[in-house]
Amino acid sequence: MEHKTRIKGNVHYVGVNDRTKHRFESMWPLPYGVSYNSYLIDDEMVALVDTVDICYFEVYLRKIKQVIGERPINYLIINHMEPDHSGSLRLIKQHYPDIVIVGNKQTFGMIEGFYGVTGEQYLVKDGDFLALGHHKLRFYMTPMVHWPETMMTFDETDGVLFSGDGFGCFGTIDGGFLDTKMNVDKYWDEMVRYYSNIVGKYGSPVQKALQKLGGLPISAICSTHGPVWTENIAKVIGIYDRLSRYDADEGVVIVYGSMYGNTEQMAEAIAEELSAQGIKNIVMHNVTKSHPSYIIADIFRYKGLIIGSPTYSNQIFPEVDAVLSKILLREVKGRYLGYFGSFAWAGAAVKRLAEFAEKSKFELIGDPVEMKMAMKELTYTQSENLARAMADRLKKDRKNNE
Ligand code: FEO
C-alpha cells in the first residue's frame, strides 16, 4: 500500500495540526491554525526528526506506527528544542526506550533541563554525519534560527533539508502536505507574519545559515511548521533571505493610536498626501484594532514607517508603546521613520517617540508633528509636509533602483 505520508523515497511526514490554540507562544493569533511537523526516515535504521506538541501525542504515535508498524525507532534527531517540537520527547523515549537521541551539546543540556531525560546520546557538531543505511545525514549548526541549539539536518541521499523553524510558516496542513498537491496561497502572508514575529530578531543568524546552506542540492524543505516545499524552494528561500536582510518594498505603514479620533485625523491627512504623492502601498494600523503581529509583519514588508500617538496620563499611549517595544526587540533595521502626536494639556507622546527614533537608529524623515487637542490648518499643513518628505525619500530610492 502506498503510504499517504510519503514525501519521497523513505522519508515520511508524520506531523500534526493544531486548530485549537488561539495564540502561538501565547501571543500570536492563529487564524489558520499551525502545524507541528515531524518526519520519519524509514531506512535500515529508522530515524525520527523532531517531535510534536505533547497535546497531540496519541495522533502522532498512530501516524508513526502507520509507517513503521511495531519496528523500533533507532534515532530521534532533535533539530530544535522549543516545546512545540520537543514536547513529545519524553513520551517517545517511554515508547521507544532504546532510542538514541541525536543533538548537539546545547541540545542535551536543554533535554535534561526541560524533560530530565538521559540515556544514550549521539552528540553531533557542525558537519558531522550519520548513516542510516541508504540515507546519509549531515548536520549543520544554525544557532539562533530560532534558539541557540538550533541545527538543521540534510539528507544527502535525497536532498531533503530538515530545517527546524527555518522556512516555516503559520497555517495547518489541510489534507496534503506537499506544496505540489495543495493550494499554498494562504501561507505566503502567514510566512511573513511567522518570520517577522517569531524569528524576526535573528536576521543575522538567518543570513549565516543561508550562507552555510547555499550550494546544497536541496530538493525538498521540511520545516517544522507549514507545507513541505518542493516546487517553491527558491521562493521560500527568497522570502527568508529578504526578510532577514530587513529588505523591504516601497510603501508606508502608518501605526497610530487614537482615543477620540483626533490623532487619527493626522494619520488620515498623512495617508491622503502620501497617496497624492504617488505612494500606492499604504497600510494603516489602529493599534487598538490590529493585533501587533500584523503590524510587525507590515513593518518588515515596507520601507516607510510613520507612528502617531496621543498623550495618555502624561505618557505615550500604552498600546503604541507596546508596538514600539516590539519593533526595538526585533532590532528592525533600515526603515524611514516619521512621527506625530497629540496632547490636551501636557505633551508627552512626541517626546517619547523622539526617544524611540533615537534608539531605533532609523533614518528620520521630515519634521515631527505635534497637535494640541484637534486639527487646525497648521496641523494639516505639517502633516502633509511630513507625508511629502516620506514620499520624496521613497521616490528617491525608486529612482536609484531604476
Ligand atoms: Fe516552532 Fe522555535 O519553535
3-state secondary structure 307-344: EEEEEECCEECHHHHHHHHHHHHCCCCCCEEEEEEEEC
Domain end among 212, 244, 276: 244
Q: Judge if 335 and 280 occupy the same domain.
A: yes
Residue 168 CA, closest ligand 1 atom number? 1
Q: Is the pLDDT of residue 256 over 80?
A: yes
Residues 270 and 216 in one domain: no
Same domain, 20 and 149: yes
- For residue 207, pLDDT beyond 90: yes
Asked if pLDDT for residue 320 goes beyond 90, the answer is yes
Please report whether residue 13 resides in a domain: yes
Q: What is the pLDDT of residues 87-125, one digit of tens each?
A: 999 999 999 999 999 999 999 999 999 999 988 899 999
pTM summary value: 0.96
Tell me the percentage of the chain whose pLDDT exceeds 70. Answer: 100
User: Would residue 183 count as lying in a domain?
Assistant: yes
195 and 288 within one domain: no
Residue 155 lies in a domain: yes
**86 alpha carbon – ligand 1 mean position (Å):** 9
Residue 402 falls inside a structural domain: no
Q: Are residues 227 and 199 in the same domain?
A: yes
Nearest atom (ligand 1) to Cα of 147: 2
For residues 185 and 72, membership in a common domain is answered with: yes
Distance 258 CA to ligand 1 centre (A): 35
Clarify whether residues 237 and 290 are in a common domain.
no
Residue-level length of the chain: 402
Atom of ligand 1 nearest to the CA of 150: 2
Q: What is the pLDDT of residue 402?
A: 84
Does residue 327 share a domain with residue 197? no
| Cα dihedral across residues 228, 234, 237, 238: positive or negative | negative
Closest residue to atom 3 of ligand 1, CA basis: 82
In a domain? residue 49: yes
C-alpha of residue 304 to centroid of ligand 1, in Å? 29
Residue 180 and residue 55 in one domain: yes
Q: Give the Å distance between the CA of 48 and the centre of ligand 1.
A: 17
Range with lowest mean pLDDT among 3-12, 24-33, 43-52: 3-12
| pLDDT in the model for residue 118 | 87
Are 238 and 268 in a shared domain?
no
* Measured distance CA(221)–CA(278) in Å, rounded: 39
Ligand 1 centre distance from Cα of residue 392 (Å)? 40
Among 136, 131, 129, 90, residue whose Cα is nearest residue 113: 90
In a domain, 342, yes or no: yes
Tell me how far the alpha carbon of residue 82 lies from the centroid of ligand 1, in angstroms.
5
Check which CATH number belongs to the domain holding 132 and give it.
Answer: 3.60.15.10
Question: Does residue 401 lie in a domain region?
Answer: no
User: Average of pLDDT values for 316-342?
Assistant: 98
Q: Which of 244, 261, 294 is the last residue of a domain?
A: 244
Please say which residue of 179, 210, 244 terminates a domain: 244
pLDDT confidence tier of residue 205, bands split at 50, 70 and 90 = very high
The percentage of the chain sitting over the pLDDT mark of 90, rounded to a whole number, equals 98
Same domain, 338 and 377: yes
Residue 146 alpha carbon, nearest atom of ligand 1: 2
- Which ligand 1 atom is the nearest neighbour of the CA of 225? 1
| pLDDT for residue 1 is more than 90 | no
Confidence of residue 188 (pLDDT cuts 50, 70, 90): very high
Q: Ligand 1 site: residues with CB under 6 angstroms?
A: 80, 82, 84-85, 146, 165, 224-225
The residue behind cell 543505511 is 133
Count how many domains the chain has: 2
365 domain residue, yes or no: yes
pLDDT for the residue numbered 3: 77
Q: Residue 343 sits in which domain range?
A: 252-395
